[in-house]
Amino acid sequence: MSINRKPIVVGNWKMNLSLSEATGLAYELSEQLEDIAGVDIDVGIAPSTPFLSIIAAICDESAIGISAQHMSAHLSGAHTGESSVQQLLDVGCQYVILGHSERRHVYGESDEQIAQCARLAHDLGLIPILCVGETLQQREANQTLDVVLKQVSSAFSQLTADEASRSICAYEPVWAIGTGHTASPEQAQEVHAAIRKHLSELYSVAIADSVRLQYGGSVKPENAEGLMSQPDIDGALVGGASLKVNSFNSIVQITSKLISQT
């Protein structure tokens, strides 16, 4: 992890938690992370869409940022069930997760849709967390870098250098999401280093060095130190472990401690 990049840990709650559970978790995290969030490390949480405004209000006095899990590639109109970038801003979001593997592989989102969403996010001031990652079949066929770098190229294709530098990119190997399997620190670092090199080719070394790269895929306190200590990993996009106060807090504390030692 580079001292020049502020680490960021975001908890993706997915379609979990009742309203009472979500509000309770938000209150506890706000209290436990009061002295660290926003100072040594950026922290965000991504509740389910119906709870966004409620959780944003709870976290308003804290430095915990609010992220949406998804947004429409359209500004407005007849798009039943979708949320526009302006609507997400109106309810208090600072971030939006785009291109998560579940959105790609279950709901059929294309590279083009994700690129358009990234464009709209920056147009209105929402920070995109751009997710990329390969399936198990692609990894076994030695296609990891081809797949991931193609996704990176597309996700950043409509962004200026300045916008790219303010974006976040999350490498989430599909085979490690929700499976209990995690890429080894060495495997994760290899892909993160390739992403950063690719960004330097798309923009410049300076821009590539400013982009924060997260790892996601069964991140938990037990493996966080090994992953977060890698030079090109700047934080985590956390799934299941973000649903418990102690485990998410531990990952944030571990990540912050590592950056303070560099």
| Catalytic site positions | 100, 172
| CA 164 remoteness from chain centre | 14
Going by C-alpha positions, the residue among 224, 173, 237 that lies closest to residue 42 is 237
Cα(233)–Cα(227) distance, integer angstroms: 7
Task: Report the length, in residues, of the chain.
Answer: 262
How many CB atoms neighbour CB 223 within 10 A?
A: 21
Q: Taking the alpha carbons of 186, 247, 132, 107 in that order, is the dihedral positive or negative?
A: positive
212 near 170, Cβ under 8 Å? no
| CA 254 remoteness from chain centre | 17
Cα(184)–Cα(18) distance, integer angstroms: 33
Dihedral angle, C-alpha 198, 167, 115, 196, nearest 10 °: 10
Cα(5)–Cα(234) distance, integer angstroms: 7
Residue 33: which residues within 8 A CB-CB, separation 6 or more?
43, 62, 63, 64, 249, 252
Residue 130: which residues within 8 A CB-CB, separation 6 or more?
98, 99, 114, 118, 152, 155, 156, 167, 168, 169, 170
